[in-house]
Structure 1
Amino acid sequence: MTIDWTSFTPWSALLGGALIGIAASLLALGAGRIAGISGIVGGLVGGKAARWQLAFVAGLLIAPLGWLMLALMPAFVLEAGPGMQIVAGLLVGIGTRYANGCTSGHGVCGLSRLSLRSLVAVLAFMGAGFVTVYLLRHALIA
């Protein structure tokens, strides 16, 4: 494996990770809530949405639009068609229900609370991702 050092720009990822951590901490300290998106959206779908849940999801939808308006997004090429995107989205949704939370809930909030269940979930998420990338990029290519 080689790294394209001229394209390696860790600062946006570092800033994004710091902002996610700050937001999750503020929600936990200010409202006593966990910033797991599957639980938040589950509350919306269940019809028992609180104002903070609506505001959280609105922020998730509005923030990328603001980012795009500032034209800071790098070029992004998605190599999957609509069918593959739908299947992937459904699989992620099913996985978050089986894991009782999503990567943000377990990875950011659960690990910060030293939850063993979250550690197991994160290891499973990451392991599945590693295996998928290996199979799609290396093992399944003739």
Structure 2
Amino acid sequence: MSIDVASFTPGWSLAGGMMIGAAAAVLVLFNGRIAGISGILGGLLGTPRNDAGWRLAFLAGLVGAPVLAGLLGQSIVPDIQAGWTETLIAGALVGIGTRYGNGCTSGHGVCGISRGSIRSLCATATFMASGFLTVFVTRHLLGG
């Protein structure tokens, strides 16, 4: 196994993680809301509520940050080695899993574990195990 040193950016990764944690903490401390993306988006798509403003602002920041990075010269286009069909199927499966799991990776992994939620701990362990298994199968059993 080798590390692509040009893509290995622990400083930027740490800074990004700290910003995600800070955003989640600010949202729960000042708004009493959990920063799970599926719940935030689902709240906009469901029954009309009085809280659409902060939901739109949060999602605008989520989309706007990489756009701003792109405008500042950072490469924001990931190298995905899959076609549109595989990507759409994967996205649909993630959406289905989010509904069955009562939340997404950000909600469970960042917010749920920090609140001491056993359900989130189990969900995050399942996400990680599934990812490990997928990489093992595709790299070692399928010859990828």
Classify the TM-score, shorter chain.
Answer: over 0.9
Secondary structure of the residue aligned to 1:21 is: helix
Shift of 1:75: 6.5
Q: Compute the displacement of 1:74 (Å).
A: 6.4
Give the CA deviation at 1:88.
0.5
Q: 2:92 aligns with which of 77, 90, 99?
A: 90
Corresponding position of 1:41: 41
Taking the aligned partners of 2:48 and 2:85, their CA distance within structure 1 comes to 31
Choose 45-54 or 126-135, whichever is displaced more.
Answer: 45-54
The equivalent of 1:68 in structure 2 is 70
- The number of residue pairs the alignment matches comes to 142
TM-score for both structures, normalised by structure 2: 0.91
Give the aligned partner of residue 118 of structure 2: 116
On the 8 A contact 2:70/2:76 being kept in 1, the answer is no
Pair 34,89 (structure 1): closer, same or farther in 2 beyond 3 Å: same
Q: Secondary structure of the equivalent of 1:44?
A: helix
* Partner Cα distance (2:90, 2:6) in 1: 31
Which segment is superposed worse, 94-103 or 73-82? 73-82
Contact kept, 8 Å, 2:38 with 2:98, in 1: the verdict is yes
| TM-score w.r.t. length of structure 1 | 0.93
AA paired with 1:139? L
Cα distance, 1:105–1:75 mapped onto 2, change above 3 Å? closer
Secondary structure at the counterpart of residue 100 of structure 1? coil
Question: What does residue 136 of structure 1 align with?
Answer: 138
Task: Name the CA distance, whole Å, in 2 between partners of 1:100 and 1:75.
Answer: 29
- Distance in 1 (alpha carbons) for counterparts of 2:77 and 2:97: 29
List runs of 5+ in structure 2 lacking aligned partners.
none
Counterpart in 2 of 1:59? 61
Matching of residue 10 in structure 1 with residue 10 in structure 2: yes
Letter matched to residue 43 of structure 1: G
CA distance in 2, matches of 1:105, 1:55: 17
Question: Offset of 1:101 from its aligned partner?
Answer: 0.4
Of 96-105 and 42-51, deviating more is 42-51
Cα RMSD (Å): 1.6
Q: Is the deviation greater in 68-77 or in 124-133? A: 68-77
